[in-house]
Chain A
Amino acid sequence: MNKLNRMAAAARHGAAWLLPAWRRDWAEAVWAEAHEVPPGLARLAWRAGGAWMLAREGLLPRRIARAAVFAAAAAAAALAAWPGSSASLATTADRVYVITMVLLLAGLPLLARPFLGPAGDSRAARLLRAGTCAALLALIPAEAAVQQFAQTPPRGGADLRVYRLVASPAAPKPWDGAAAALLFAALYVAPILWMTSRRSRVAPATLAAGTGAGVALGLVMYMVAPLGLSKAATNPWLPGSDVDPLVVLAWLLLLCGPVAAAVVAGRRCRAPGSSPPPAGARIRQMMAAGLLTSLAGALFVTVLGTGTTAVMLKAAWLRNWLYRGQHLWYGIQNLSSDLRTLPAIAYGHELTGSADAQVFLGICIAFPVIGFGLTALVAMSRTGDAAVGRGGPGRGGGGPPGPGDPPDGGQPTVTDDDAGLAAGLPGLHQPGPGIEQNQLGATLADAALQPAGTR
């Protein structure tokens, strides 16, 4: 019995750290009281109850609950992405991607905690972390479905001929999945972990400004190109041209959104009292807001766009809705007359959409580069203004001031964003693989507009 009591005491010592600091007195209280309980089963039961109290108060509501939600979401994403032929390279790459991404999402916060500290106390920080994790998890099954569809040739018949005309000949390699996961971790998980950590001192208002502008950018980008940046899937809600208002708005948000968020964050950065905030603190807030805008925008449109493509592969109604009007003929121009049948056209659309969705990966790389470069320019210029006396404390609310000087290497550098700009929207209104713009006859259009569930 004494051994059991000692084991229970050891378990209690091990579990007490799970309680918040203001709850640890209670753990001490229940254990101290055990000395008043008669030795034997009664005392053991008392301590077991204490251990249960520890679990309820500390373990379940906080860490276990969060870990359980993450584990459930990761398992659901992995299960949805796992099916496929083991012989397929695309399937292997997807599985490597799933495993790597889940491990990174689970492990990076733990690895970063000694350096960055715990997550920030603000609701904005918690929501941003959770939202990023949810978005990356949601991307797993969507990306897997699209990749497997694009990379898996049909067994034969007309679909195989369409596949050879439309699909990309490059076969994925197993390590492509790990490379993609590492890319997301480096470009998205790590910066957002930093921004939402307590030690980074990024203000909640900065997080809100960056996320809000990013979501707006992502939403407009998605409305312009729900299936990737190709003319085939461009703007199904509007006539679709290179200068339609939505495209112009997307460009404006891409180029001006990070700058606007950075300016707002810089103006809201205030030091205690009436003294102006240190330059480093202001730069930090501005850089975080600008970078977050492009990160959130790219991630938002990637998840929505890839998800839409994945759903389109399963839902004929969505395909028929997205490919209508002038978009009907994209991706199928190269089909010979004997392939201009309803099933072959539908398969061609799905294949073209899957191939075009890969452009989102380019967006995920280009947008942060653009956002970082533009924000760095603005931050440096405004800081220079402040140095000559033309900049003062902003009028808005109060973000935390941040440390006096930025850390070494923390000063943003002006990057050459020309490459990023060129890569940002190069494919906008450009045909996807194997696409040439021409128009078929009205007969073909009428045929393809009909439900295509018989392929």
Chain B
Amino acid sequence: MTTRSGFSAQTLSVLAALCAQPSQWQHGYALARQTGLKSGTLYPILIRLADRGLVEACWQDEPQPGRPRRHLYRLTAAGLASASGALADAAGPAAEPAAVQAGIRRARAGARTAPAARGAVAGVVP
């Protein structure tokens, strides 16, 4: 199901999670926890957003010992503008799908309740 903005409910939840900390790079697992999406759903969404220039991705510079490098994501300027508009639309009338609202609430709640994850992410971002 897509919303008026053209994004699906799952995509909106990813955008909401990225919008919560637009300047910080985030990991896939952290995004999955915030949005409640499985990896098989989350990554195709990230790929599409990156293809459209709404999300930028990079590899972690200094991986933790014994761990592979992780991929990091954040919104581009265009992505931030697009996400803000889409989320504003979605947060408006009650006509929007409940899944969108739930996704946004979940993303925002995750952003509030997962400081450890944010800190970990922020710590590795150059």
> Which residues of A line the B interface, CB within 8 A?
23, 25-26, 28-33, 35-37, 45-53, 56-57
Q: In the complex, which residues of chain B have a beta carbon less than 8 angstroms from the beta carbon of A46?
A: 29, 32, 38-39
Contact in complex: B44, A57 (CB < 8 Å): yes
Q: A30-B28, A50-B39, A56-B44 are in contact. List 8 more A-B contacts (CB 8 A).
A: A23-B47, A25-B71, A28-B68, A28-B71, A29-B57, A32-B69, A35-B67, A49-B40
Q: Would you list 22 pairs from A and B whose C-beta atoms are within 8 A, ordered by A residue?
A: A25-B71, A29-B71, A30-B43, A32-B68, A32-B69, A33-B27, A33-B39, A33-B70, A33-B71, A35-B67, A36-B67, A36-B70, A37-B29, A45-B38, A49-B38, A49-B41, A50-B39, A50-B40, A50-B43, A52-B40, A53-B39, A53-B40
Give A275 to B119 CA distance when docked, in angstroms: 61
Q: How far is the CA of A45 from the CA of B44 in the complex (A)?
A: 16
A36 adjacent to B29 (CB under 8 Å): yes
Closest Cβ neighbor of A55 among chain B residues = B40
Report how far A32 CA is from B38 CA in the complex, Å.
15
| Cβ A26 vs Cβ B27 within 8 A | no
Which residues 1-60 in B have Cβ within 8 Å of A in the complex?
Answer: 27-29, 32, 38-44, 46-47, 57, 59
A35 and B40 in contact, given A26-B47, A29-B28 (Cβ under 8 angstroms): no
Chain B interface extent, by class = 20 to 34
A4 to chain B, nearest CB (A): 16
B70 and A29 contacting across the interface, CB-CB below 8 Å: yes
Q: What residues on A are CB-neighbors of B27 within 8 Å?
A: 33, 36
Most buried by A among B27, B28, B38, B42: B28
Report the Cα distance A448→B40, complex, angstroms: 67
Contact B28 A33 (CB under 8 A): yes
Residues of A within 8 A of B44 (CB): 53, 56-57
Once A48-B40, A49-B40, A49-B41 are accepted as A-B contacts, the answer to whether A33 and B29 lie under 8 Å apart by CB is yes
Hey, which chain A residues are within 8 Å of B47, CB to CB?
A: 23, 26, 57
Interface residues of B in 61-120 (CB under 8 A from A): 67-71
Of A31, A45, A46, A47, most B-chain CB atoms within 10 Å: A46
Q: Which residue of chain A is the closest to B60 with respect to CB atoms?
A: A32
Chain A residues near B38: list those with CB within 8 A: 45-46, 49
In the assembled complex, which residues on chain B have CB atoms less than 8 Å from the CB atom of A37?
A: 29
For B50, the closest partner residue in chain A by CB is A26
Q: Are A26 and B70 in contact (CB under 8 A)?
A: no
Given contacts A56-B44, A57-B44, contact A32 B71 (CB under 8 A): yes
Per the bound structure, the CA–CA distance linking A31 and B28 in Å amounts to 10
Contacts of B42 in A (CB 8 A): 49
A50 to B42, CA, bound (A): 10
**B57: which A residues are within 8 A, CB to CB?**
25, 29
CA distance A32 to B59 in the complex (A): 11
